[in-house]
Amino acid sequence: MSFFDKLTAAIDSNDSLLCVGLDPVLEQMPNRYRSGDSQWMTDLLRWNLNVISETYRYVCCYKPNIAFYEALGPAGMELLRQTLSSIPNEIPVILDAKRGDIGSTAAAYAKACFDLPNVDAVTASPYLGRDSVDAFTAYKGKAVFVLCHTSNPSAGDLQTLLVDGRPLYLHVAEQAVTWSPNVGLVVGATYPGAVRDVRAIAPDAWFLVPGIGAQGGDIERTVAAGLCGNGQGLIISASRGVTQAEDHKTAARQFREAINQARRQVASA
């Protein structure tokens, strides 16, 4: 089953456009997961597994950011493998890796990402052009989410520079969706105007939308700007707002319901 088939099945089954990021930071681990000894990997794994077990009925996918695992060395990569292996098979996984290179290096990055268990999609940078993404789209059934307009404060340093009278991120959107039917776009919820403008350029593309929750992105404005006519097209990501919540299940359910309320408002408008 392809990533997008798996995604739409999860959306329908869980009535959800919510994606939960699995980004364990030792210093931010809730106290209830701290064992008080040196077994930090066991504690982090228990944290991740509890988040998954309490939220999998409320999400359409999970998104671990590989940087947090790589920073922990070999034990961190084992933590990632065990986390990925624990995600139910029916829930797709986007590995947030933001890779970007060419030739044999891109092929090595793609293999490293897709050889990990249960990884269905990956994020990638478009800065080097199409051949930096081809190595990923060559994997049958896998998807790539190309960075378009990101959620960080300095995104505009480069992404909004005018090229032939239009912001660069619109050129990225226009070109990237022609590279493969398995390409989606990363568009941050902290810039709902960009979400709207990219949707006009790429009416049928799937958007991975970070920035909800801790980063302050507005759910209603994001959904209104980017929802497709079929009520889908958005994968709205929240990480700390769920993983650091006292009750992961309640937090995920509340995010899902807020997103669905915004979907209903768009449908009735």
Residue with tokens 């990923």: 136
pLDDT score for 125 = 97
Give the closest residue to 223 by CA, choosing from 204, 241, 209, 203: 209
Model confidence at 247: pLDDT above 90: yes
Is pTM beyond 0.85? Reply is yes
Number of structural domains found in the chain: 1
98 is catalytic: yes
Model confidence at 35: pLDDT above 90: no
pLDDT score for 1 = 86
pLDDT score for 222 = 95
Tokens of 205: 């593309």
Q: How far is CA 208 from the centre of its chain?
A: 5
pLDDT score for 214 = 65
The span from the CA of 95 to the CA of 66, in Å, is 7
The SS3 of residue 185 is strand
Assign residue 208 a region (left: φ > 0; alpha: ψ between -120 and 50; beta: otherwise): beta
DSSP count for the chain of H helices, then E strands = 12, 10
Q: What is the pLDDT of residues 126-138, one digit of tens each?
A: 999 999 999 999 9
In this prediction, residues 103-122 reach a mean pLDDT of 97
Give the closest residue to 98 by CA, choosing from 151, 19, 36: 151
Task: Check which CATH number belongs to the domain holding 104 and give it.
Answer: 3.20.20.70
CB atoms within 10 A of CB 128: 15
How does the average pLDDT of the chain come out, rounded?
95
Whole domain around residue 110: which residue ranges? 3-268
Which band of pLDDT confidence, cut at 50, 70 and 90, is reported for residue 89? Answer: very high
List, as one string, the DSSP characters of 116-149. STT--EEEE--TT-THHHHHHHTSTT-EEEEEEE
Model confidence at 81: pLDDT above 70: yes
Q: What is the pLDDT of residues 219-238, one digit of tens each?
A: 999 999 999 989 999 999 99
Q: What is the pLDDT of residues 173-227, one digit of tens each?
A: 999 999 999 999 999 999 999 999 999 999 999 999 998 866 677 999 999 999 9
Question: CA dihedral in degrees (147, 197, 259, 25; nearest 10)?
Answer: 20
**44/39: higher pLDDT:** 44
Percent above pLDDT 70 for the chain: 98
Question: DSSP secondary-structure letter at 29?
Answer: S
Out of 6, 63, 98, 142, which one is annotated catalytic? 98
